[in-house]
Amino acid sequence: MDKMSQLLKLLEKTDYIEINEFRMDFEELELQLMPAMQRVVQQAATKQAAVQETIKMMEAADFVPPIKDYPGEVAQVQLGAGTRKPVYLGGQQALYRFEEPQPNPPVVTFDVFDIPMPGLPRPIREHFSDVMEHPGDWAKKAVKDFGANMVTIHLIGTGPKVMDKTPRQAAEDIEEVLQAVDVPLVIGASGDPQKDPIILEAAAAAAEDERCLLASANLDLDYKRVAKAAVDYNHAVLSWAITDINMQKTLNKYLMKEGLTQKDIVMDPTTCALGYGIEFSIDVITRTRLAALKGDQDLQMPMSSGTTNAWGSREAWMKNDAWGPTDYRGPIWEIFTGLTMMLCGVDIFMMLHPLSVQILSEIGSTFTKDYLTSDVPDISNWIAELE
């Protein structure tokens, strides 16, 4: 190795060179040493920059969004076909939107009844008193005036102890509502385990190929008959279990044995209202959604909430001066119940009050945007800006 090569070799791992008592033929050096020095200087500069960069990178890379991989995904269910504008539920592949965009905004379906409901709380009755005689008008008002994505027609009048309406009459009510609006329908019966399957069958036939959601199949009634009606007439089924994840799994399995698929089932794990056991629903719904994303195929369906249950709470409807007007308490009770369920993974909400529907829909739609894509105001001076 000649002197120059040795020097270059030495310089290879050098960040800088200090020259002391140096004597050399200038011209020679200029020709031979300069490239080496240049290289060294360049190396040193690059290294410096890299250190700076590392410091910067360390600071920046330090914060890593905690994103998870989920092996499972929630099936997407289509409601509405034929003459209906379809809506889509489910389809999630992650728990939160910062992990993966959320595919479908939450859907609100407005409660409408086949009989005038004198028992409804006043803050709701006053919005609908003009249309309660006709479910078609009621449905139209819910969609046109209050922006409902869907309508739930409860065939309460078919109850043997209510008006004992016949399956034929139930079918007529369904036809009336189908004529009145072009949104998808949820079809609910009266809750009589003997009669419900018969009523749902008649209603399903009347709405053939419109892809309604039949509410509901549960373990207390002839769920096979409800499932068959859905398969025969192209509808989806609401699979309802009472805050019990194992019961839900069992029922879903049974329904799939009857020919329904994940894409034909929406689960209702029961909504306990705010203050009336809402924590039980929080736990069950959270666990159900997590199970779906972890890969449990019997629970990979979107979920529904009977948010209207909130109105059963006395704080929502009971007149009490010390609690303030029910005009405000009631809607908040319904919003809180729905919102809490939404944050646990519920996709579709059955609701009653126009203001609740509006606010829940507004906030729900923000949860399907991507992280940090909304214009947000400058709040750095909020302490003084607040009145």
Partner 1 sequence: MQVTAMDIYRLLPQTNCEDCEEAACGEASCMAFATKLSEKEAQLEICTELSSEAFDKLETLLAPAVKEITIGTGDKTITIGGDEVLYRYELTYYNPTSLIIDISDNISDAEFAERVKVIEETEFERIGEMLTLDAIALRNASGNAEKFAEAALKLKKSKLPLVLCSFDPDAMKAALEKVGDERPLIYAVNESNLEEMAALAMEYNCPVAIFSPNDLEKMKQLSRALRNKGIEDIVLDPGTFVQEGIGDTLDNFVMIRRLAVEERDEDFRFPLMGIPALTWIYEKDEVQGGIREATIAATLMNKYADLLIFHGTNIWELIPVLTLRQGIYTDPRKPQAVDPGLYEFGELDKNSPVLMTTNFALTFYTVEGDIKGKANAYLLVLDTEGRAVDVSLAGGQLNAEAVADLIKETGIEDKVDTRTLIIPGLSAPVSGEIEDESGWEVLVGPRDSSGVPGFLEELKEKS
Nearer to partner 1 (CB atom), residue 27 or residue 387: 387
Residue whose CB is less far from partner 1, 107 or 203: 107
Alpha helices in the chain (DSSP H): 3-12, 26-62, 122-128, 135-144, 167-180, 196-206, 223-233, 245-257, 278-294, 314-317, 326-344, 354-366, 382-385
CB nearer partner 1, residue 91 or residue 191: 191
> Minimal distance in Å, beta carbon 53 to partner 1?
16
Mark residue 324 as left, alpha or beta (left: phi above 0; alpha: psi -120 to 50; beta: remaining): left
Tell me the window of 12-20, 106-114, 183-191, 270-278 that interacts with partner 1 (CB under 8 A): 270-278
Alpha-carbon distance 23 to 97, whole Å?
68
Query: Are the CB atoms for 357 and 108 separated by under 8 Å?
Result: yes
Does the CA dihedral 290-296-299-300 come out positive or negative? Answer: positive
Q: Is 375 in the site for partner 1 (CB under 8 A)?
A: yes
- Write each residue from 276 to 295 as x if it is in contact with partner 1 (CB under 8 A), else as -, in one continuous string: xxxx--xx--xx--x-----
Rounded CA-CA distance 258/253 in Å is 9
CA–CA separation, 353 and 332 (whole Å): 10
Whose Cβ is closer to partner 1: residue 113's or residue 336's? Answer: 336
Min. distance of Cβ 9 from partner 1 in angstroms? Answer: 42
Count interface residues toward partner 1 (CB under 8 A): 61
Work out whether the CA dihedral 119, 275, 350, 190 comes out positive or negative.
negative
Q: Which one, 1 or 384, has the nearer CB to partner 1? A: 384
Looking only at residues 5 through 64 of this chain, which bind partner 1 when binding is defined by CB under 8 A? 59-60, 62-63
Q: Which of the stretches 17-25, 205-213, 293-301, 324-332 binds partner 1 when contact is defined by CB under 8 A? A: 324-332
Q: Pick from 242, 254, 258, 296 the residue near partner 1 by CB under 8 A.
A: 242
The binding track of 332-371 with respect to partner 1, each residue x by CB under 8 A or -, is xx-xx--xx--xx----------x---x---x--xx-x-x
End-to-end CA distance of the chain: 81
Contact assessment for residue 230 and residue 264, using Cβ atoms and an 8 Å cutoff: yes
Residues 6+ apart with CB under 8 A from 142: 110, 112, 148, 151
Q: Which two tokens stand for residue 129?
A: 């008193």
Query: What does the binding site for partner 1 look like in residue numbers (CB under 8 A)?
Result: 59-60, 62-63, 65-66, 96-98, 220, 242, 274-279, 282-283, 286-287, 290, 314-315, 318, 322-325, 328-329, 331-333, 335-336, 339-340, 343-344, 355, 359, 363, 366-367, 369, 371-372, 374-377, 379-387
